Structure 1
Amino acid sequence: MGTPAGTLSPKADPEGGPLAAPAARVALVGVHGFGTHHLRNLERLAAAGEVDLVAVADPQPPAEGSVPPSAAVFPGLAELLAGTQDLDLIIVATPIQTHAPLGLAALTTSADLYLEKPPVASLADFNRLADAAAASGRSVQIGFQSLGSHALGAIGELLAAGTIGTLQGISATGRWVRDKAYYKRSRWAGKRSIDGVDVVDGVATNPLAHAVATALRIAGARTTADVVSVETELYRANSIESDDTSVIRIRTAAGLPITCALTLCAGEPVEPYVTLHGSAGTAVFHYTEDRLTVRTAAGTTEETFGREDLTGNLLAHRRNGERLISPLLDSGAFMLVLEAIRTAPLPAPIDGAYVQWVGDADAAHAVVTGIEEALEQATSRHATFSELGLPWASTAPTAFTLPA
């Protein structure tokens, strides 16, 4: 019997035993921005004999020395596919608005797909991509790297053991700082759309998307069927189209409330965290650090965990059927949140009386007065900024109508 398409077939040694599988032939689309992370990771995997980076594509040439001399360089994916045969894996690390067309193009090949987060910029595009993946039989991994943390397994165990009692709710808190230069780095930064094409580059859908995705995963909300309601309250202190300070309130099909209170306008950056609120304690997961802190009447424990690389996981899935950590369909719950934000009214500007600018010129960043306390109040009470009565909260939460 032949080797199924999309499977790495091991070579046989002279005595009939299997040897290591051949290195996967990989193409990377997007070598700047977060693409540089993938270049470093692929270099590590190549040194281990797991991959061979055979081609890259980007309209901007790669930095000198960043791509192996053996890799062909193309200006776009179409040219790469025309000039490269027998790919096993295509990684797409490009601006949000390009994910759908590039992902769909990749799925016309025999290669599996690694697509950076957020998967796409609309629920309609998500459904199109899911249909294309199902029709092609290809595997699609979405780049929510935090979901590879081994801490998630430990969280599942402590919930099953009742360590923090009955889980009553989950919250995600993000306090980051982004200056004016951040929004000038590209034409799509901070945009809801460009020339009629959805972008949805807001606080919850891009820089702090992992906070939302991680909270949903811990709650067991993976697919679109796992969410029954989404409410949004979106604001902006910067002169942008999208939101930089927002509350998203979700209820899962199991009845669990999830509240995400996020800002890019904090006084000082703090690593984001997801909090599990139990009847007998709390568990706080700092997902960028894989650090879990559990507080109960018995005391406080803290542990830092390892993390599984999503590219390595996709390669293992190809080799031996290992379960994907972040498959496309498991991003369905997150895509409902993104769609709620995409279709919500324009983010309300925060009154300048409550915004302080720190720094000069493009290094200046907005700080919303009292935002740290506001985020803590929002997450602990599962309340929006307007429900807390904040003086700059000029709107009310918008309920999203879930698709039938």
Structure 2
Amino acid sequence: MSAVPTAVPTVALAGVHGFGRTYVERLTARHRAGRLRWTAAADPRLAAGEVPPGMPGDVAAHRDLADLLAHHRPDVVALATPLHTHADLAAAALRAGSDVLLEKPATTGLEEFTTLQRIAEECGRQVQVGFQSLGSDAPAHVRARIAAGRIGSVTGYAAGGCWQRPRSYFTRADWAGRRRLGDRVVADGVLTNPLAHAVATALAVADRRGADDVVSVLVDPHRVNDIETDDTTAVRVGLRDSPGLVLAGTLAASEAGEPFVVARGTGGRITLYYTLDVVVEEVPGRPPLVSRHDRTDLLDDLLEHRASGRPLLSPLAGSGAFTRVLDAIVGGPAPRPVDPVRVRAVDLPGGDRRLELPGVEEAVAAVLETHRTFTELGVDWTR
């Protein structure tokens, strides 16, 4: 079962459906180009013959990662599995001698995170966390512009977004919309899963990515949908030796828009639209400066690290601050249910339905502008 040394790294994938399909596409393209050798995949649905389109026929199929690792020793294991499985599966892959590309969030709690760090160090292996926005050159560009004094002294950081999710999103799996599933933390909330990139990217822009960089977290969670977790939340984060960060997001917007991170200063502001890799720098009296930035695929970055030792763009340690925020959200107050009379239901094709909270976009904007939570602003959707 020992891996045969080769110049072309072997890669295995756990989770080929759902978001895992993006990994299928990426691995297939690199496999065909000879940049890696995709040797095996694990997914319960593979055992039932549900093979995703495009998956090469010579990829060995297994029912789960344990079975895969009993037959293969891949150089890299990519994990695109449910959130609450990340810590255990990553630990198993590390102990088998593989480096890991782990979808975000790396873990669903700070204790798991610390344990996984220790295991990676003991095994001498690397974990790259799948915050794709951290593969962009844009956060470093923003930090450089701030350091050059382009917006004066930074007074605060903010990040958020207004998205929409239909009922089917919250019923897509038994863990969807859950804080916990049995004795496992799931953390499928608005800022810990769909808009997690806003949080991680804001912490990267502030250059505060370590677990010890977060000194306080105040959470103000709400839920529009009939779920266990939060879908509309504001969070204020105190950062070590840095201006503070405020976060606000919703999955119940009437009109979805681009999520963003903004650094405000005494002489202007810089906004990063992280899904677009676009930065807009605004200084009073000058026209806005717009720049577009390249992005490195985090799989390619991990392979390059293995070849040259170049530091990872999204290493496990760099998710420490994010995980501390996640931990505070999950361990904080239960989401407050929004009064149904304030909610508008929109019927969608195929019998699906989406709930909207009129005025939530303005409330999110107010949080990001004032650094005050919904409750502190007097916004009360419960009556």
Partner of 2:144: 157
Residue of structure 2 aligned with 1:348, choices 324, 336, 345 = 336
CA distance in structure 1 between the partners assigned to 2:184 and 2:315 by the alignment: 25
Task: State the TM-score, normalizing by the size of structure 2.
Answer: 0.95
Q: Does 1:41 align with 2:30?
A: no
CA displacement at 1:362 relative to structure 2: 4.9
Q: How big is the shift at 1:393?
A: 5.9
The 10-residue stretch of structure 1 (157-166 or 334-343) with the greater mean CA deviation from structure 2: 157-166
Equivalent of residue 37 in structure 2, options 52, 71, 75: 52
1:364 matched to which residue of 2?
353
In structure 2, runs of 5+ residues without a counterpart are none
Q: Distance in 1 between matches of 2:366 and 2:227?
A: 26
Determine the C-alpha separation between the residues in 1 that align with 2:159 and 2:21. 28
RMSD: 1.7
- State the partner residue of 1:398: none
Match of 1:244 among 231, 236, 242: 231
Contact between 2:214 and 2:237, CA under 8 Å: does it hold in 1?
yes
| Counterpart Cα distance in 1 of 2:234 and 2:133 | 21
Aligned to 1:316: 304
Separation (CA, whole Å) in 1 of partners of 2:186 and 2:52: 30
1:221 aligned onto 2:208: yes
| 1:56 counterpart letter in structure 2 | A
Aligned pairs for 1:240-389 (under 5 A) are 240-297=227-284, 298-360=286-348, 362-389=351-378
Q: 1:393 to 1:375 in 2, by over 3 A?
A: farther
Superposed displacement of residue 181, structure 1: 0.8
User: Which residue type is aligned with residue 45 of structure 1?
Assistant: R
Q: Which string of whole-angstrom CA distances, capped at 9 and with x for unpartnered residues, describes residues 43-89 of structure 1?
A: 2222332211000000012435432111100000011011113x110
| Number of aligned residues | 377
The answer to whether the Cα contact below 8 Å between 2:253 and 2:360 also exists between their aligned partners in 1 is yes
1:287 Cα deviation (Å)? 0.4
Structure 1 residue 265: Cα displacement: 0.4
Choose the corresponding residue for 2:60, options 72, 79, 100: 72
| Contact 2:78 2:100 survives alignment (8 Å) | yes
- State the percentage of identical aligned residues: 40
Stretch moving more, 52-61 or 192-201: 192-201
Q: Distance in 1 between the 2:324 and 2:339 partners? A: 29
Give the residue type in structure 1 aligned to 2:57: P
Match for residue 218 of structure 2 among 231, 247, 272: 231
Q: Closer, same or farther in 2 for the Cα pair 1:284/1:111, shift >3 Å?
A: same
Letter in 2 for 1:160: A
* Cα shift at 1:271: 1.6
Unaligned 5+ runs, structure 1: 10-20, 395-404
Q: Secondary structure at the match of 1:107?
A: helix
